[in-house]
Amino acid sequence: MLRYRHQYKSDTILRELQYILALLQEPLLKLAQATSQMAEAHASAPDNLKILFTSLEIIFKIFYSLCYVDLPEYFEDHMQEWMVEFHKYLNYESKFPQLVSDVSSPLRSF
């Protein structure tokens, strides 16, 4: 997940990213949206939210790592969908005190 955060833009890295993105970019967005919908559906279940927020955190970290070297065209074309999800969790307020210390937001560890 952190592999590309310390890489410089080169033909080798761009080819590798292009291959990975061809396989992962659309499923990653769909997974982020589905997980977010599940988090909304389980908003009253703190144990479920903790698991879902951990999943969202990993998804968001993968997105960040894949964009680190260069912003992929697919992500650029689907920026609205990604930013809706990021905005939702940057502004998320938990009803559960135990989540605030553990998983207050899936974006907490960037």
Note the pLDDT tens digit of each residue in 66-79. 998 989 999 999 99
Taking the C-alpha atoms of residue 105 and residue 90, their distance in angstroms, rounded to an integer, is 7
Model confidence at 8: pLDDT above 70: yes
Q: pLDDT digit string (tens) for 56-107? A: 999 999 999 999 898 999 999 999 999 999 999 888 887 877 776 555 555 5
Residue type, 71: L
pLDDT bin (cut points 50, 70, 90) of residue 1 is: low
Closest by CA to 52, choosing from 94, 106, 97, is 106
What pLDDT shows up at residue 9?
A: 86
Task: Check: pTM over 0.75? Answer yes or no.
Answer: yes
| Sign of the CA dihedral with 1 first, then 48, 80, and 31 last | positive
